[in-house]
Amino acid sequence: MRELLRYQGRPAARRRALSGFEDFWAVYPLKVDPIAAEEAWCEALDVADAATILAGAERYGQVAGRLMLAPARWLAERRWEDELAALALGEED
């Protein structure tokens, strides 16, 4: 994956962010557009910690069904904050 500009000159911060992204990518059920997902992951870390996002991704994978959001969109929309019951019923905001 390409080098993210926000982490130039800060290799330790980039490694931490990308390490978490690899965990996210492993649990998120839809594997499309990894570059956009990586960028969205780094932005999501500005508002939530990796463990919270990963827990949401795991819940989403359990209830999403056939129609899933691309990972970058899921991250950008902060969908880890969705309630599991609403997802199970297929409700959208």
- The percent of residues in the chain predicted with pLDDT above 90, rounded, is 53
pLDDT at 3: 47
Q: What tens digit of pLDDT does each residue of 13-26 get?
A: 666 677 789 899 99
What is the DSSP secondary structure assignment for residue 66, as one 8-state letter? S
Instruction: Work out the mean pLDDT of the chain and round it to a whole number.
Output: 82
Model pTM score: 0.75
Q: Which residue has the higher pLDDT, 6 or 69?
A: 69
C-alpha 8: how far from its chain's center?
A: 21
What per-residue confidence (pLDDT) applies to 47? Answer: 92
Q: Per-domain residue ranges for the chain?
A: 5-88
Residue 5 Cα distances to 2, 8, 10, 42, 68, angstroms: 9, 5, 10, 11, 29
- Tens digit of each residue's pLDDT (9 = 90 or more) over 28-68: 999 999 999 999 998 999 899 999 999 999 999 888 777 89
